[in-house]
Amino acid sequence: MKKSVFLGTLTAAGVIAGAAAAATLDDVKARGKLNCGVTTGLVGFAAPDANGNWQGFDVGLCRAVAAAVLGDPDAVEFVPTTGKTRFTALASGEIDMLARNTTWTFSRDNDLKFEFTGINYYDGQGFMVPKELGVTSAKELDGATVCIQTGTTTELNLADFFRSNNMNYEPVPIETNAEAQQQYLAGACDVYTTDASGLAATRATFETPGDHVVLPEIISKEPLGPLVRHGDNEWGDIVRWTLNALIAAEELGISSANVADMAGSAGDNPEINRILGTEGNLGEMIGLEADWAVKAIQAGGNYGELFEKNIGENTPIGLSRGLNAQWTDGGLLYSPPFR
Amino acid sequence: MSDTHAQTVGYVRETFIPEQAPPHAVTGPVKWLRENLFPSWFYGILTIVSVLFIFYVLSIFLPWLTGGVWDAANIRECREIFAGDSAGCFAVLTERWHQLLFGFSYPQHAYWRPTLALILLAVAVAPVLFSNLPRGMLAFTALYPFIAFYLVWGGTILIPLVALAGVIGGYLVYAQLVDRSLVGGLIAGVVAAAVIWWLGGFVTAEMPNLLALEAVPSRDMGGFMLNMILGVVCVSLSLPIGILLALGRQSSLPIIKWICVVFIEFVRGVPLITLLFVANVVLAYFLPPGTNFDLILRVIIMITLFASAYIAEVIRGGLAALPRGQYEAADSLGLDYAQSMRLIILPQALKISIPGIVNVAVGLFKDTTLVSIISMFDLVGMIRGPILASTDWNGVYWELFGFAALLFFVVCYGISQYSQWLERKLATDHR
Amino acid sequence: MTAITDPPADGFKLSMLINDTRYRGLTFQFVALILLIVMMAFLGMNLVRNLAAAGLNISYGFLGEPAGYDINQTLIDYTSQSTHLRAAMVGLLNTLLVAFMACITATILGVIAGVLRLSPNWLVRKLMSVYVEAFRNVPVLIWILIIGTIVTISGANPRDFLTRGGSVEPQSELFLGMFAFTNRGFYSPALDLGPGWIVVLIALIAGIVGAVAWRWHVRRTLYNSGRLLPSWPTWVILIAPVVLAQLVLGAISLSLPDVESNNFNIQGGILIGKPLIALWLALSVYTGAFIAENVRAGILAVSKGQTEAAASLGLRPKRIMNLVVLPQALRVIIPPLISQFLNITKNSSLAIAVGYADITATLGGITLNQTGRAIETVLLLMLFYLIISLLISAVMNVYNATVALKER
């Protein structure tokens, strides 16, 4: 009987305020914390550092949403999820939003009943091979052994690519990125395939990155974005427009350095004024404070700052903006207008 | 021996020859070598092969261990220091030991709390394991769950106090009524405990900061500490459930018997990992909408169910091993089922089941590493997740897994040595 | 508990449901049944409500859809266009394959280690203790990961064997021109069945039957006349027909691994993949340590008097072991051995840690991921394991019954 009591106290400690199907915003506010699903560890996107603080590009988005909703970028509970558990965690309400470089696909949107609220990284699947193999194109990979991280769309893309090019391959499914690298470096597979961003991040950690080349072919579209449950449109809007605010902020030149000044008084640009809440009532429309976007931008900077800090060219990951540049710079980032 | 023979003997020695040392071949190290290493040519060959094997392993392992680097910021520095040698990069252990042991979210200044809880665990478990210790120590064992909860999870001291008060209140009521009826006593005890907890809930809500330690949510538990928590909590929770299941399976009531049989065989028939999948991806759908247990609690539930099925089988073995006469003696004294079980059968059956239970506990403790597969950061999850994924330590495998293996080995070997000692102690047959 | 109590003088009272031992059992069962039904209904209703709230449904329709992913080691034909159900079947067969292989090697290892732990050789005894304790006291997941790494780094790279169409001098030669142990697996020649292979097969079967018959004859002669016939004809009878048939017909040829045609891998022949080898090894040595303990306990359980009695009859140590100790020890060893076999099957569910496509990796891993049908796949997965476990238990229990002590 004593033991069952212990279970009872445990239950009391463990039961957390649940998330009902509707009104995620109210739940988050009542809880005072945002539950954000991230990966168990992918450098640059989401990984705890030596002190246990989560860092990364996806993490930055979680913090921005928490800042917009709760006013505190640290009011986030990061819930590590695997490829297998991420969708259930979101569907069952364990997490409020999922920012885990998840590819936006038709079936995930419609069959699994999720709502993708935008795209924070345009990615595509690529191949990395040792330079000594002398391979210059993915079309030459007939008969190769390929390491894939299991539980992602990459497995399906890979099968499609080799089938449509009438080539054979030997797949080696691997659970974590770290183990995939180990296999690849030990020569247990000829090719490592994952999203191009992941390849760059992986290559950066090698002892001799120069011995490996990323092949030019990108065999799939991988639009990665945050997602929420179907059916709570208010909450979906908050996540969507927080992301848009970060993108628009870069376009309009609002950064974490100058956002406080700009928000101090209304300026010349009406759109900046509307985003920062010095003009109009956008905050009221979305159900947040007037300065919601200011806090979101202050949390980690605008989109460009997040990119440069976590995965940009000055980091070990060293990704260039590419498709993820603003539309004004020839990229695909294009935030709808704030009005 | 007749006298006639005496004539043929020319000389008879009248004194003893002084004792001589035995030949070298049958004494000292040579004898030991002959008997233990070269008793026959077959074993001689085995000895030589073994020596070569040990030499080979040590020739790889020792330079790796002694040449290891203990002080470096990341693997690249390690590689620079080795300059091509293959040696251990143990700097990862000095750099990340706190993450390996406590996970990355547990507040660093509070590490003394789980450590103290671990030390107290040894004190609490000792009287259960060693019957020659004073029985008064069992009182501390009974208190331990509340102390451990307070230390590990923190929060106000009122929560464990109220829980304790509920248990004591419930037990007092039960003790009052048990002589009249066991069932009535149980029900009344549970009701009394529930009332005390319900009332205590108001008190706790009023004073959330009374003697409060910093509260740590269970999501922040990690590293080896998580393995220990899961192991200890699940084994202790599964013991009473296992006893009930074992009794149910032995019961003469068909419906109860079949419920227990189906449960036990089902749980023993599936791997733990599928049950953890249930905890992780399915269980949430079976709970009332709006409630949400956090992952660690769901995992505790599933591992407890898993362990209780195995413990039930061990206890069933203990029940079956009791001589039939014990059951008959209890019946002939006029004891009813509950009394005979409580007073006669279970005390003996549990005693002979202890080695088996300890083995299940060791196995279960090892199996707690499987939670790493469902994205929990236990010791193995910590290694495979954040540490190996970081740019600093990507590529350090042997040191980390060797460390993990060593930690588990120390704990499990200790427990299994105890279990063997106990088996020898309980073995009453003389051969 | 059929206590003899006087029948109550008056009629049935409600309190008798609790207080009368004749009715109490019924009451308990009734309450238990009601509680079970209530719990089931509670869980079921929660499920229905949760699914409705999330807009999901329970459907096994996805099993008929194309899986879309490839699997590296398949025992039956499978392409990425096959259905999820077929992928599950591939996984199931892979689970059974590795479990079967590991059961055999673990038993052999365990028996050797268990017997050696009782050997007079001090060094071997200690070495075996180290083996047993090291593997018993460290989680199987850690061993699988460690052994997976060892296998990965210990083999040569298959590229070292390749000639790339004759353009490169290979760094390594195939062993005997047909075998290669690489970090991607073990390459061996495949058997190419030409016309007439059925005759060779029949010859093989005939050889086996003949050999068994000869053994039976030897034993009968020994028991009837005390004459010990030589054992070498067994091997002649076993091998001669099949060799003869093959030499005459030349029906079966070896198809050797091909190092020329591809730039990445050795083609052709049979490849036993590295994931399978790693998992097989890991499960074998891990469970072997447990079986060693069972074997040791079984041998120790045979009373010393039995050994002494056999010795006093003049039997030599080897015969004492084979004729007296082992048959008795087996009775103690087999029940725990069965549960070790079950453990191997269940532990094989960790296959994905080394990249082996067992049923947990296909159905419970990739299929679950791609379809998002968590409830359906996990339930199906549990069902598969339950069936396998119950089958193994059933088969082994039958065997157990045949070797059990026939008492009175």
Q: What is the pLDDT of residues C116-161, one digit of tens each?
A: 888 888 888 899 999 999 999 999 999 999 999 888 888 788 878 8
Range among A233-237, B86-90, C313-317 with highest mean pLDDT value: A233-237
C86 three-state secondary structure: helix
Note whether B143 contacts A: Cβ–Cβ < 8 A: no
Distance between CA atoms of C137 and C353, rounded to whole angstroms?
20
Confidence check: pLDDT of B151 > 80: yes
Whether A195 and A233 map to the same domain: the answer is no
Residue C46: what pLDDT? Answer: 87
Confidence of residue C18 (pLDDT cuts 50, 70, 90): low
Distance from CA of B24 to the nearest CA of A (A): 54
For chain B, percent of residues with pLDDT exceeding 90: 21
Question: For residue range B283-311, what is the model confidence (pLDDT) as tens digits?
Answer: 888 888 766 677 888 899 999 999 999 99
Residue C397: what pLDDT? Answer: 78
Residue B4: what pLDDT? Answer: 54
Within-domain flag for A13: no
What DSSP element (H or E) covers B58?
Answer: helix B41-66
Residue A241: what pLDDT? Answer: 94
Whether A241 and A317 map to the same domain: the answer is yes
Residue C406: what pLDDT? Answer: 60
Distance between CA atoms of C20 and C27, rounded to whole angstroms?
10
Note whether B204 contacts A: Cβ–Cβ < 8 A: no
Confidence of residue C6 (pLDDT cuts 50, 70, 90): low
Residue B226: what pLDDT? Answer: 92
Confidence check: pLDDT of B105 > 60: yes
- Taking CA atoms, what residue in C is nearest to B277? C378
Task: For residue A224, list its beta bridge partners.
Answer: A103, A121
**DSSP letter (8 states) at residue C191:** E
C185 three-state secondary structure: strand
**DSSP letter (8 states) at residue C394:** H
HEC string of chain A equals CHHHHHHHHHHHHHEEECCCCCCHHHHHHHHCCEEEEEECCECCCEEECCCCCEECHHHHHHHHHHHHHHCCCCCEEEEEECCCCHHHHHHCCCCCEEEEEEECCHHHHHCCCEEECCCCEEECEEEEEEHHHCCCCHHHCCCEEEEEECCCHHHHHHHHHHHHCCCCEEEEEECCHHHHHHHHHCCCCCEEEEEHHHHHHHHHCCCCHHHEEECCCCCCCEEEEEEEECCCHHHHHHHHHHHHHHHHHHHHCCCCCCHHHHHHCCCCCHHHHHHHCCCCCHHHHHCCCCCHHHHHHHHHCCHHHHHHHHCCCCCCCCCCCHHHCEHHHCCCECCCCCC
Residue B192: what pLDDT? Answer: 86
Residues 189-248 of C with CB under 8 A from A: none
* CB within 8 Å: C263 and A163: no
**Which residue in this structure is represented by tokens 């501390």?**
B140
Distance between CA atoms of C233 and C215, rounded to whole angstroms?
9
Distance between CA atoms of C405 and C402, rounded to whole angstroms?
9
Distance between CA atoms of B204 and B221, rounded to whole angstroms?
24
Residues 82-111 of B with CB under 8 A from A: 95-96, 99, 103-105
Residue B52: what pLDDT? Answer: 93
Whether A309 and A190 map to the same domain: the answer is no
* CB within 8 Å: A186 and C153: yes
Assign residue B211 a region (left: φ > 0; alpha: ψ between -120 and 50; beta: otherwise).
left
Asked casually if ipTM beats, i.e. exceeds, 0.90, the reply is no
Confidence check: pLDDT of A36 > 90: yes
Whether A142 and A79 map to the same domain: the answer is no
What DSSP element (H or E) covers C182?
Answer: strand C180-182
Which of C70, C264, C361 faces A144 most closely, judged by CB atoms?
A: C264
Note whether C268 contacts A: Cβ–Cβ < 8 A: no
Cβ atoms of residues A114 and A227 within 8 Å: yes
Confidence of residue C5 (pLDDT cuts 50, 70, 90): low
Within-domain flag for A334: no
Share in percent of chain C as helix, strand, coil (round to 5): 65, 5, 25
Confidence of residue A4 (pLDDT cuts 50, 70, 90): very low
* CB within 8 Å: A41 and B233: no
Which of B170, B291, B388 faces A1 most closely, judged by CB atoms?
A: B170
Whether A99 and A182 map to the same domain: the answer is no
**DSSP letter (8 states) at residue B109:** G
Question: For residue range C102-117, what is the model confidence (pLDDT) as tens digits?
Answer: 999 999 999 999 988 8
| Dihedral sign (CA B232, B234, B239, B240) | positive
Residue C405: what pLDDT? Answer: 62
Task: For residue A121, list its beta bridge partners.
Answer: A224
Domains held by chain A: number: 2
Q: Could you tell me which residues come within 8 angstroms of residue C81 by beta carbon, excluding any fewer than 6 positions away?
A: A163, C66, C67, C68
Residue A11: what pLDDT? Answer: 44
Within-domain flag for A11: no
Q: Could you tell me which residues come within 8 angstroms of residue C407 by beta carbon, excluding any fewer than 6 positions away?
A: none
Judging contacts by C-beta atoms under 8 Å, the chain A residues touching residue C91 are none
Within-domain flag for A5: no
Write down which chains contact chain C via at least 3 CB pairs under 8 A.
A, B
pTM: 0.87
Distance from CA of A290 to the nearest CA of C (A): 32
Whether A153 and A24 map to the same domain: the answer is no
Note whether B271 contacts C: Cβ–Cβ < 8 A: yes
Confidence of residue A47 (pLDDT cuts 50, 70, 90): confident
Confidence of residue C16 (pLDDT cuts 50, 70, 90): low
Confidence check: pLDDT of A3 > 50: no
Confidence check: pLDDT of C8 > 70: no
Distance between CA atoms of B267 and B303, rounded to whole angstroms?
10
A/C interface, count of CB pairs below 8 Å: 109
Instruction: State the average pLDDT over residues C17-33.
Output: 77
CA diameter of chain C = 105
Confidence check: pLDDT of B281 > 60: yes
Whether A115 and A251 map to the same domain: the answer is yes
Assign residue C226 a region (left: φ > 0; alpha: ψ between -120 and 50; beta: otherwise).
left
Distance between CA atoms of B339 and B349, rounded to whole angstroms?
15
* CB within 8 Å: A173 and C149: no
Q: Could you tell me which residues come within 8 angstroms of residue B127 by beta carbon, excluding any fewer than 6 positions away?
A: B133, B134, B135, B137, B138, B140, B141
Pick C153 or B86 by higher pLDDT.
C153
Whether A236 and A102 map to the same domain: the answer is yes
Q: Could you tell me which residues come within 8 angstroms of residue B224 by beta carbon, excluding any fewer than 6 positions away?
A: B100, B101, B102, B378, B379, B407
For chain A, percent of residues with pLDDT exceeding 70: 94
Distance between CA atoms of A330 and A321, rounded to whole angstroms?
10
Distance from CA of B293 to the nearest CA of A (A): 5
* CATH number (domain holding residue A256): 3.40.190.10
Instruction: State the average pLDDT over residues B171-200.
Output: 81
Confidence check: pLDDT of B124 > 90: no
Pick B77 or A126 by higher pLDDT.
A126
Confidence check: pLDDT of C344 > 90: yes
Pick B220 or B362 by higher pLDDT.
B362
Whether A191 and A245 map to the same domain: the answer is no
Residue A76: what pLDDT? Answer: 92
Within-domain flag for A14: no
C384 three-state secondary structure: helix
- Which two structure tokens, joined as six digits, stand for C26? 């019924």
Residue A279: what pLDDT? Answer: 86
Confidence check: pLDDT of A15 > 50: no
Within-domain flag for A115: yes
Question: For residue range C227-259, what is the model confidence (pLDDT) as tens digits?
Answer: 878 878 888 888 888 888 888 877 777 777 777
Write down which chains contact chain B via at least 3 CB pairs under 8 A.
A, C
**DSSP letter (8 states) at residue C381:** H
Question: For residue range B408-419, what is the model confidence (pLDDT) as tens digits?
Answer: 999 999 988 888
What domains can be seen in chain B, in order of their start residue?
156-212 (no CATH), 219-378+403-431 (1.10.3720.10)
Instruction: State the average pLDDT over residues C87-106.
Output: 94
How buried is residue B5: exposed, middle or buried, by Cβ count under 10 Å (0-12/13-18/19+)? exposed
C181 three-state secondary structure: strand
* CB within 8 Å: A159 and C361: no
Whether A170 and A201 map to the same domain: the answer is yes
Distance between CA atoms of A65 and B375, rounded to whole angstroms?
24
B213 three-state secondary structure: strand
Note whether A21 contacts B: Cβ–Cβ < 8 A: yes
* CB within 8 Å: A179 and B290: no
Amino acid at A159: A
Q: Which residue, among A331, A327, A239, A333, has the nearest Cα to A287 in the 3D structure?
A: A239
Residue C107: what pLDDT? Answer: 94
* CB within 8 Å: A150 and C352: yes
- Taking CA atoms, what residue in C is nearest to B46? C124
Confidence of residue C407 (pLDDT cuts 50, 70, 90): low
Within-domain flag for A12: no
> For chain B, how big is the Rg over CA atoms in Å?
30
Which of A16, A93, A181 faces B394 most closely, judged by CB atoms?
A: A181
The parent domain of residue A177 ranges over 125-220
Distance from CA of A160 to the nearest CA of B (A): 28
- Taking CA atoms, what residue in C is nearest to B417? C133
Whether A29 and A71 map to the same domain: the answer is yes
Judging contacts by C-beta atoms under 8 Å, the chain C residues touching residue A173 are 72, 352, 355, 357, 361, 365-366
- Least confident span in A321-325, B33-37, C165-169, C268-272: C165-169
CA diameter of chain A = 70
Cβ atoms of residues C282 and C274 within 8 Å: no
Cβ atoms of residues C351 and C140 within 8 Å: no
Residue C165: what pLDDT? Answer: 65
What DSSP element (H or E) covers B31?
Answer: helix B28-36
Confidence of residue B140 (pLDDT cuts 50, 70, 90): confident
Within-domain flag for A2: no
Residue C208: what pLDDT? Answer: 92
Residue A13: what pLDDT? Answer: 41
* CB within 8 Å: C142 and B408: yes
Instruction: State the average pLDDT over residues C54-59.
Output: 79
Q: Are strands A114-116 and A125-130 parallel, antiparallel or unpaired?
A: unpaired
Alpha-carbon dihedral C89, C92, C94, C98, rounded to 10 degrees: -170
Distance between CA atoms of C38 and B273, rounded to whole angstroms?
28
Strand ranges (E), B51-104: none
Question: For residue range C176-230, what is the model confidence (pLDDT) as tens digits?
Answer: 777 888 888 888 888 877 777 888 888 889 999 999 999 898 888 888 887 878 8
Write down which chains contact chain A via at least 3 CB pairs under 8 A.
B, C
- Least confident span in B31-45, C314-328, C347-361: B31-45
Confidence of residue B42 (pLDDT cuts 50, 70, 90): confident
Residues 55-114 of C with CB under 8 A from A: 55-56, 68-72, 79-81
Confidence of residue C345 (pLDDT cuts 50, 70, 90): very high
Q: Where do the H-state alpha helices sit in B103-208?
A: 112-129, 137-153, 158-177, 182-206
* CB within 8 Å: B233 and A10: yes
Average pLDDT, chain A: 85
**DSSP letter (8 states) at residue B23:** P
- Taking CA atoms, what residue in C is nearest to B181? C19
Distance between CA atoms of B152 and B264, rounded to whole angstroms?
32
Judging contacts by C-beta atoms under 8 Å, the chain C residues touching residue B272 are 346
Distance between CA atoms of C380 and B422, rounded to whole angstroms?
42
* CB within 8 Å: B163 and A15: no
Residue B352: what pLDDT? Answer: 83
Instruction: State the average pLDDT over residues A311-335.
Output: 88
Whether A209 and A261 map to the same domain: the answer is no
| Dihedral sign (CA A229, A230, A234, A240) | positive
- Taking CA atoms, what residue in A is nearest to B107? A52
Residue A8: what pLDDT? Answer: 44
Average pLDDT, chain C: 85
For chain A, percent of residues with pLDDT exceeding 90: 35
- Which two structure tokens, joined as six digits, stand for C64? 């008929």
Amino acid at C119: S
Judging contacts by C-beta atoms under 8 Å, the chain A residues touching residue B293 are 11, 14-16
> From the candidates C276, C369, C379, which should be mutated to test the interface with A, based on the most A CB atoms within 10 A?
C369
- Residue A210: count of CB within 10 angstroms of its CB: 8
- Taking CA atoms, what residue in B is nearest to A52? B104
Distance from CA of A5 to the nearest CA of B (A): 7
* CB within 8 Å: A41 and B390: yes
How buried is residue B290: exposed, middle or buried, by Cβ count under 10 Å (0-12/13-18/19+)? middle
- Taking CA atoms, what residue in B is nearest to C49? B289
Task: For residue A46, list its beta bridge partners.
Answer: A42
* CB within 8 Å: B43 and C120: yes
* CB within 8 Å: A159 and C68: yes
